[in-house]
Structure 1
Amino acid sequence: MAVQITHVRFSGYNRSEETIIAYRWFNPSDGKTGDSDKPTMVDFIDNKKGEAYVGTGASKVSVGVIHPTQGQPYLRTYADGQWNNNLVNLPTF
């Protein structure tokens, strides 16, 4: 299953991938929407073979999990062979 992440929620004022605490998503295959916290989305991609992306059509960008040596895993977008910050630029909820 693949979901499109459409919105994010940050903890505090610092806007970075590491400070995102929740994601709002849309599943185009069944029309369902939902909100998931960071650990749930990390588990969805890492362990449940789920996929996530940002954008649509030609601007669709895959989302992967970053496992830093210190701190908790977090999501980040990956396009054209590089990690980038598309999630930070999404609307908040």
Structure 2
Amino acid sequence: MANRVRIRCINKTDRMNPHERIKNVGGQNADGGRWKQSVDQTVREIESREWEFFVTEGGRTVDVIVATHNGNKYIKTTADGIQPDNLLSLPECP
């Protein structure tokens, strides 16, 4: 069974392409400590089924999945179409 964790923040690049704009995601551990990792690591963990990630949007839980656009893997929420807006709307990670 995969570990499940909430993404609470992101770090963006200066790229305009929404599929390449997120470089890191992060959150808070159960002990209150912070975590942050690259999108590439997040993609690997989702694909290995070791971890599942989600965001909370308007009081509901939305899963984060791996998608591919023009041969490049990126993450988005299941509620998003092609644009990963739910993730892009999260605050910046420290």
Q: TM-score range by the shorter chain?
A: 0.7 to 0.9
Residue number in structure 2 paired with 1:26: 28
Structure 1, unmatched stretches of 5+, are none
**What TM-score, normalized to structure 1?**
0.77
What CA distance in whole angstroms lies between the structure 1 residues aligned with 2:26 and 2:20? 16
Residue number in structure 2 paired with 1:39: 40
What CA distance in whole angstroms lies between the structure 1 residues aligned with 2:89 and 2:19? 10
Aligned counterpart in structure 2 of residue 7 of structure 1, from 9, 12, 17: 9
Aligned partner of residue 67 in structure 1, secondary structure? strand
Residue number in structure 2 paired with 1:67: 68
Aligned partner of residue 8 in structure 2, secondary structure? strand
Structure 2, unmatched stretches of 5+, are none
Q: For the Cα contact (< 8 Å) 1:61–1:77, is it kept in 2?
A: yes
Deviation at 1:58, TM superposition (A): 4.0
Counterparts in 2 of 1:88 and 1:52: CA distance versus 1, 3 Å = same
Counterparts in 2 of 1:43 and 1:58: CA distance versus 1, 3 Å = same
Tell me the number of residue pairs that the alignment of Structure 1 and Structure 2 aligns.
Answer: 89
**What TM-score, normalized to structure 2?**
0.76
